[in-house]
Structure 1
Amino acid sequence: MSKRTVVIAGITLNVFSLDNRDSEPESTSPKPIAILFLLHGRTSRADHLELMVKAFLDEVSTRRRDPAQAGKEAHDLWVVTFDHRNHGSRLVDSLANQAWDKDPNKSNTRHA
């Protein structure tokens, strides 16, 4: 698995693939590319997804080595992760990500 980090429109994207394209990020693929955007859940962050990405790409790699799949056209698969607005590296106000709470110090009065 390879990982490249690119910034597009001010947002840091993590691009994972089975091919090692770190040395030539602008190179073209001989096969079509399928892109899976894997998004984290509420109050989480993109780097928490790396184990899931690895497991997913390992499974894809294993299935591609299956003799029954030999000779079939396969897309290159890229998995893209990024931090949602106000999460992870883009965090501005952690309280804004919270819901209502009985404790006024933990409650987000702007929730909903």
Structure 2
Amino acid sequence: MASPAEADLPPRPSISMRTMPMAGLLVDVHGLEELSPFATRITCLWLHHQRLGNKERMADVAARCVAAWNERSRKSKAKGSPERGLIALTFDQRNHGTRLVSDRGNESWNKGNETHAQDMFGIMAGAVVDQGVLM
């Protein structure tokens, strides 16, 4: 179901998505099939989901970013600019989505999670480590 913000947007562009294992994580790569064989550089846009979300929640943003970039690139190519491709990548943060090990670990103190601070620190610090390894 679309969020209120998504309801005001045009339909999501059709962009390829392939889930690939990378460094022990499942990473969704958006736009790989749309890359031009003539691209001289490729930019990787890493999209992180919000708290209590998962990588699938970022698919709409990924598709819109890649589609907008590809449209802009088509116009630039006509002007003779070198080609740069864009792919968008998403993965589940620790204790989210495919990496969920404890529902309670994502709750707040008000919802009975006595280790909320440690859990949030672990998720945030872990995101930095995971992102560094993937890059």
- 1:82 matches 2:91: yes
SS of structure 2 residue aligned to 1:93: coil
Equivalent residue in structure 1 for 2:28, among 14, 22, 31:
14
Q: Which amino acid aligns with 1:19?
A: E
Normalised by the length of structure 1, the TM-score is: 0.78
Q: Which amino acid aligns with 1:90?
A: R
Contact 1:18 1:57 in 2 (8 A): no
Give the unaligned 5+ runs of structure 2: 1-14, 118-135
The one-character-per-residue Cα deviations of 1:43-97 (angstroms, maximum 9, x if unpaired) are: 1100011111111112112222336862111311111100011000110001101
Tell me the equivalent position of 2:116: 111
Counterpart selection for 1:5 from 12, 15, 19: 19
Larger helix fraction of residues: 2
Partner AA of 2:30 in structure 1: F
Matched, 1:46 2:80: no
Dislocated runs of 4+, deviation >6 Å: none
2:61 and 2:17 map into 1 onto residues whose CA distance is 14
Aligned-residue identity in percent: 31
C-alpha contact 2:70 2:85 (8 A) present in aligned 1: no
| Equivalent residue number for residue 34 of structure 1 | 43
Length, aligned pairs only? 102
RMSD: 2.2
Of stretches 56-65 and 12-21 in structure 1, the one that deviates more from structure 2 is 12-21
- Rg bigger for which structure? 1
Which of 1 and 2 has higher RCO (CA within 8 Å, sep 6+)? 1
Structure 1 residue runs without a partner (length 5+) = 22-27
